[in-house]
């Protein structure tokens, strides 16, 4: 299964996120979830970005709304527009989930 997961909060249910298994996993950071792409926790990347085998995306509009630029984003994270997200969930992933 190819699964796209939207994360919209800085806090998350670790247990649910850690148990996700997919042949292809895309983690799309939106709303306050974009903080996982830009902040360091104790000098380390957000634990969200340590999910093995996942591809990470952050919505550019939400990033800019919160005062960040592409220069602030972790290199593991690809910046995407609303149109890019539509393309991802229609062409790259079979199912979507919201955490």
How much is the pLDDT for 16?
76
Domains of the chain, CATH where assigned: 2-98 (3.40.1260.10)
Pairing status of strand 44-45 against strand 40-41 = antiparallel
For 68, residues 6+ apart whose C-beta sits below 8 A from its C-beta are 34, 38
pLDDT tens per residue, range 31-44: 999 999 998 878 88
| pLDDT bracket for residue 14 (50, 70, 90) | low
Residue 27 class from Cβ within 10 Å (0-12 exposed, 13-18 middle, 19+ buried)? buried
CB 58 within 8 A of CB 88: no
The structure's pTM equals 0.91
pLDDT tens per residue, range 24-81: 999 999 999 999 999 887 888 988 998 889 999 999 999 999 999 999 999 999 999 9
Is it the case that residue 13 has pLDDT exceeding 70?
no
Dihedral sign (CA 77, 39, 5, 82):
negative
């Amino acid at each position: 299964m190819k699964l796209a997961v939207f994360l919209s909060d800085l806090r998350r249910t670790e247990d649910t996120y850690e148990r996700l298994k997919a042949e292809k996993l895309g983690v799309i950071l939106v709303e306050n979830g974009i903080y996982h792409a830009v902040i360091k926790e104790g000098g380390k990347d957000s634990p969200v970005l340590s999910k093995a085998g996942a591809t990470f995306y952050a919505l550019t509009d939400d990033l800019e709304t919160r005062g960040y630029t592409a220069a602030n984003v972790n290199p593991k994270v690809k910046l995407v527009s609303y149109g890019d997200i539509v393309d991802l969930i229609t062409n790259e992933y079979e199912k979507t989930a919201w955490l």
